[in-house]
Structure 1
């Protein structure tokens, strides 16, 4: 019997089966069918859980046959009352499924031997939690695809992500009025503000038309070790390496005297390029993304794992990968385990990954997307200022052991942004321990460091990362005293 032929009792039972609460109002049969098709009942090796999950594709450009892949987890308790949080990883070209979901903040962590462990610090747990939507963007990343050649870049990614989100909310209308937050790390420092700006501008248009059907209830975004401004990103990298005794005085002075970080790579001198090459060689020896962390020494370790594997000829503005390892037991080879797991046919079938349209192995990062990237804003600080003035809540956090987009880069960027400080540098606490330092700015902007964490903060400091997002969602200051 088709969905349209269900009687009242059968419809109620069917709604419960696919995870749609009848108390959320009348639901169109086509919506029920779409949600049912995306329902993930179980992924291989998964422990039992008390929340629902969904995964699948949403077409964002019909003419170009371009579709983005998502993996969604309801909040573990009272999901209908919780906000919706969209997570984006960076690169550009890296997978939010492979990093954010499987190694950082998702409910399932991939471990050695294809084992799946529950993440006790998942962001969909607890009172101050969220419904988690992991988006693989742009097309060409992970299970997302385009059947026609296109030029990836900042603008097309923002608009594709917006079209995805609007269509996803039509597929899951029970979240249309939920508060929406965006979070991510690294090059998501571009993705999140740019997506937020599109939502912000489109909301104004729909408001003027008195059209609430496409309104998205955006409240803010939260960024970890974000790329914000090419000038401050690069200057902060160099100063951080020298101040942490990794760069010699000679190379440091050579870079400072020969490089103009306000200019693009093509306008740099040969002396500058040589100095930067010496800088990048540092990270063929250690992990750039966590300078105190071990590197993976598996003989099979390859391009899908990026711990300490930066080639020495990378240019000054080369984009960055997001290596990570599972919380609750650091393992520098976790990216290898994730690569193996998501290339299992039974895993891909469970997640509804349409491999007929993805004629390549799944990978954590797409070299093709990264190499083809044709538009990258020099700075997103004007966008952040616009959205801050527009009333959005914006938090930045920075693991202080990251060498790729270090805390120095973020601090320089905030100085360049020029927003008035309302509460200056002060420690924040995670129970009895100092979790880091924080500073508050006018208009709802907060910056926090995370002591001892690297580029992917939830990896080495999962408890502190959970505390951060909880306070961000609740819009309350971080604890200023031990508890």
Structure 2
């Protein structure tokens, strides 16, 4: 009896030591990724943040770069939120973190970060990853990997990232988890959600406790995206009646991804009618210097390459380009100089131009995930002429979901913030006056949006005015 008792105690101690060693190792890895202070940072913050690499494929040495921000207050009670930018080939650090929902934005000198008062880490622990390899600081030891990216492998690597990231941050295992993103992340986000749900079902592993996702101005379904695109151009007064009619005649929606000389010609006319505006935000001033491509080339790209949201105006992204190329910044973010890009870019043309697989629609994934009971929201800045509100609404209509709450305005500070409609399994929210990057143009309204989404409430209504009788 004493022998068995001794053996039991011995094994218990060994197990405790192994668990302690695992926790100690995770804590050590976390601390090695902790960012103390950024170059140019002239203010203190009351939240911890971490950055580094997570290997997603040992054989080829694929590793994704991440930057993680704990919530400003009581992070242990807040959910975990992942943000992804699209392209494909664009950096979530460049856009999501540095000019949209992250806490650190960059001043026009390209050297000085400042604190974003509407950062989403006010309501969640926020994780950004540069995905896939070849984007931002993410890398592979096999250079061929950069030429072999696509939707399928991106989802697979992102799932591997999350599983391995949770080994480094075990305190977030089983934490309520949400996905978010915009533009081509309209593919990334539901595809990753599907991968997580199928992984959970096949393995029984519930460490990634996915509760839902939201996507903005999202590439969703080619047919409806292009149908809504031309409708928006015409209704916003960007093109003439004649051009609108010709677009519908010569740019057959079913065949739109195939080159057509007639369609190309009418797109050139549409480009001229657009004038010198920013198609990603049609009512805000356009950048008049160092423009990455004129509007006629943009529209040609929409037709020939089906890339509906690659780059935003370089007048907003050039600050990040300067900052994240600084050696001292890369050192502070634990970028390995042996694998650092020779030139950090907001978007990788190599990745984008060599994309291998991209389904014409992800509506079938929506149907699967709606049935699984996830919280799904789609939001749309209503001044975007690249993936406009009309496109998103047409894609939602194609799902044929019953309406459970009718179309109505939502409010912030007693002003209309946009419009919303609730469906059985999905919520749509438009954001008034926002362009392709909603949190860039309407940061306060975007914070209202994410608060409502995470809390599972509807968008706010106009408060009732109480008067004396």
Contact in 1 for aligned 2:309/2:386 (Cα 8 Å): no
State the match for 2:16 in structure 1. none
Could you list the runs of 5+ residues in structure 2 that have no partner in the other structure? 1-19, 465-469
State the match for 2:285 in structure 1. 294
C-alpha change, 1:286 and 1:355, in structure 2 (3 Å) is farther
State the match for 2:169 in structure 1. 172
State the match for 2:386 in structure 1. 404
Helix, strand or coil for the counterpart of 1:28? helix
Q: 1:188 aligns with which of 171, 177, 185?
A: 185
Q: 2:61 aligns with which of 49, 54, 65?
A: 65
Whether 1:346 and 2:328 are equivalent positions in the alignment is: yes
Whether 1:254 and 2:251 are equivalent positions in the alignment is: no
Contact in 1 for aligned 2:383/2:434 (Cα 8 Å): yes
Matches within 5 A, 1:8-407: 28-46=23-41, 47-113=43-109, 114-125=111-122, 129-148=123-142, 149-150=144-145, 151-207=148-204, 211-212=205-206, 215-266=207-258, 269-281=260-272, 285-298=276-289, 301=290, 303=292, 310-311=297-298, 313-316=300-303, 317-321=305-309, 333-407=315-389
1:394-416 Cα deviation digits (max 9, x unpaired): 01110100000000000110111
C-alpha change, 1:283 and 1:68, in structure 2 (3 Å) is farther
State the match for 1:13 in structure 2. none
1:284 Cα offset (Å): 6.8
1:28 Cα offset (Å): 1.9
Helix, strand or coil for the counterpart of 2:367? helix
Helix, strand or coil for the counterpart of 2:64? strand
Whether 1:466 and 2:447 are equivalent positions in the alignment is: yes
1:264 Cα offset (Å): 5.0
1:307 Cα offset (Å): 8.9
Helix, strand or coil for the counterpart of 1:169? helix
1:228 Cα offset (Å): 0.4
State the match for 1:478 in structure 2. 459
C-alpha change, 1:308 and 1:345, in structure 2 (3 Å) is farther
C-alpha change, 1:186 and 1:378, in structure 2 (3 Å) is same
Q: Number of matched residues? A: 440
Q: Normalization by structure 1: what TM-score? A: 0.87
Quote the Cα distance in structure 1 between the aligned partners of 2:114 and 2:361: 39
Quote the Cα distance in structure 2 between the aligned partners of 1:269 and 1:73: 47
Quote the Cα distance in structure 1 between the aligned partners of 2:114 and 2:175: 29
1:286-336 Cα deviation digits (max 9, x unpaired): 1010001112234xx364xx79684564251431446568xxxxxx72311
Helix, strand or coil for the counterpart of 1:184? strand
Quote the Cα distance in structure 2 between the aligned partners of 1:168 and 1:282: 48
Instruction: Give the stretch that moved more between structures: 360-369 or 280-289.
Output: 280-289
Name the structure with the higher helix share: 2
Root mean square deviation of aligned Cα: 2.0
Helix, strand or coil for the counterpart of 1:368? helix
Quote the Cα distance in structure 1 between the aligned partners of 2:296 and 2:27: 46
Quote the Cα distance in structure 2 between the aligned partners of 1:438 and 1:244: 20
Could you list the runs of 5+ residues in structure 1 that have no partner in the other structure? 1-24, 326-331
